[in-house]
């Protein structure tokens, strides 16, 4: 049975440790419980919101109305597959990593290597922690997820934003998913095209009613040498990412387009570079929210006392200054939950 609470503070369910209360909080442990919780909410005309690891959201100080579902459905099944494949080669066009940034912007291109091997399909509950999935699949001799080592959150959250690690996007390894379809109040199996993956983007960002229940990924069953290399990469990646500030939601802004980069004659498309070098906003503080001096695209919560309002004001300041100085609209990478206009 899912765990249910009322009037629960959501700050403890986010890496930023920011956010007001949920009217009702339900913790689910399987895809079946997840579906049943959504369908019950819909039958009762109650809005529902899903949270994975809460590592890419800003939750309003007023909290979220209706049911907030904490997704802990973490079953992993190896489905198998025999087809020999080579490099999965459908990288997203506009990546943030085409160029070499300074080391502060964490591209880790030196860790990249070409993978090959037999295609193996695995199925994961969408609440599976990414770190757990990486550990388990590498243990089974399956590589692919190592690029995302050190990124917090669940595989459902990873799909929502099509996360990136170095030169790789999560969508490269995606096969299909079972979703909850709000139009029919039923489940549906969907293929890759459905998600319209882009840089830090998928169809889920524009349709928050769709909930991913289970995900199928295509990973590589390579030789021992490749697997050892992938394990080493995962460790090295996580080690380097540890230096990133933790009481944050990762990067707040998407990097700019190649076109804007060239128009403004910038050496990089990195939003962190703009905030640091062009705007000089590192260390800028509003309330207890501060632009990190370790990574300028991160906003840190000092002493767990920052409010969502503090963070919002800092985000707006950065956007205004970027518009004024460079004529660029900096887009946010994170989700805003519980605000009037999301």
Query: Which residues are near ligand FAD by CB under 6 A?
Result: 15, 49-57, 71, 126, 151-154, 156-158, 160-161, 163-165, 204, 211-212, 244, 246, 248-250, 335
The residues, ordered by sequence, that sit 6+ positions from 341 with a Cβ below 8 Å of its Cβ are none
CB of 322 to ligand FAD, least distance (A): 21
Whose Cβ is closer to ligand FAD: residue 54's or residue 117's?
54
Residue 109's CB is within 10 A of a number of other CB atoms, namely 11
In order of 80, 164, 219, 226, 271, the CA distances from 117 in angstroms are 13, 22, 9, 9, 36
For ligand FAD, the closer of residues 211 and 289 by Cβ is: 211
Q: Would you say 58 or 88 has its CB closer to ligand FAD? A: 58
Minimum CB distance to ligand FAD smaller for 249 or for 330? 249
CB of 211 to ligand FAD, least distance (A): 4
Complex with ligand FAD: residue 153 or 222, whichever CB lies closer: 153
* Minimum separation from the CB atom of position 41 to ligand FAD (A): 14
DSSP state letter for 103: G
* Least distance (Å) between residue 127 CB and ligand FAD: 7
Three-state DSSP state, 66: strand
Residue whose CB is nearest to ligand FAD in the complex, by number: 157
Distance CA 68, CA 299 (A): 24
- From the number of C-beta atoms within 10 Å of its C-beta (0-12, 13-18, 19+), residue 62 rates as middle
Instruction: State both tokens at 243.
Output: 């230096």
Nearer to ligand FAD, 107 or 222 (CB): 107
Residue 223 CB, nearest approach to ligand FAD (Å)? 28
How many whole angstroms separate alpha carbon 92 and alpha carbon 242?
26
- Tokens of residue 254, six digits: 């998407």
Nearer to ligand FAD, 180 or 220 (CB): 180
**DSSP per-residue codes, 86-154:** -------SS-TTSS---GGG---GGG-----EEEEEEEEETT-BHHHHHHHHHHTTEESGGGGTT--SB
Two tokens, residue 78:
């190896």
CA pair distance 290, 283, nearest whole angstrom: 6
Rg over CA atoms, the chain:
20
Closest distance of CB 86 from ligand FAD, Å:
25
C-beta closer to ligand FAD: residue 106 or 220? 106
Query: Least CB distance from residue 228 to ligand FAD, whole Å?
Result: 23
Nearer to ligand FAD, 88 or 251 (CB): 251
Whose tokens are 């050190």? That residue is: 150
Tokens representing 181 are: 């379809």
Which runs of E-coded beta strand occur in the chain? 3-9, 21-28, 48-51, 57-59, 64-71, 76-80, 84-85, 117-125, 142-143, 164-165, 168-169, 174-181, 186-191, 211-221, 285-286, 289-291, 299-301, 335-337
Shortest separation between residue 224's beta carbon and ligand FAD, angstroms: 28
Q: How far is the CB of 332 from ligand FAD (least distance, A)?
A: 12
């Amino acid at each position: 049975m899912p765990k249910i609470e009322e009037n629960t503070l959501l700050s403890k369910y986010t890496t930023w440790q920011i956010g007001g209360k949920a009217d009702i909080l339900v913790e689910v442990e399987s895809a079946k419980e997840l579906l049943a919780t959504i369908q019950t909410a819909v039958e009762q005309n109650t809005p529902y919101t899903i949270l994975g690891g809460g590592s890419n959201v800003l939750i309003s100080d007023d909290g979220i109305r209706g049911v907030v579902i904490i997704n802990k459905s973490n079953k992993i099944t190896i489905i198998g597959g025999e087809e020999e494949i080579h490099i999965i080669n459908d990288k997203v066009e506009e990546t943030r990593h085409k160029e070499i940034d300074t080391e502060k912007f964490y591209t880790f291109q030196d860790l990249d290597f070409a993978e090959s091997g037999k295609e193996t399909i695995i199925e994961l509950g969408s609440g599976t922690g990414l770190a757990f999935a990486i550990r388990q699949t590498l243990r089974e001799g399956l590589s692919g997820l190592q690029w995302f080592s050190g990124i917090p959150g669940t595989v459902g959250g990873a799909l929502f934003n099509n996360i990136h690690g170095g030169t790789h996007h999560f969508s490269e390894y995606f096969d299909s998913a079972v979703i909850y379809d709000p139009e029919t109040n039923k489940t549906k199996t969907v293929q890759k095209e459905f998600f319209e993956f882009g840089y830090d983007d998928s169809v889920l960002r524009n349709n928050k009613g769709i909930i991913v229940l289970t995900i199928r990924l295509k990973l590589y069953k390579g030789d021992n040498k490749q697997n050892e290399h992938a394990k080493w990469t995962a460790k090295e990646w996580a080690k380097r990412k540890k230096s990133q500030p933790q009481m944050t939601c990762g990067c707040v802004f998407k990097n700019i387009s190649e076109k804007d980069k060239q128009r403004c004659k910038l050496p990089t498309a990195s939003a962190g570079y703009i905030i640091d070098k062009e705007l000089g906003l590192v260390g800028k503080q509003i309330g207890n929210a501060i632009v990190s001096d370790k990574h300028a695209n991160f906003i840190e919560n000092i002493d767990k006392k920052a409010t969502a309002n503090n963070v919002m004001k800092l985000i707006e300041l950065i956007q205004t200054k970027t518009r004024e100085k460079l004529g660029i609209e900096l887009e946010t990478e994170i989700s805003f939950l519980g605000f009037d206009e999301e």
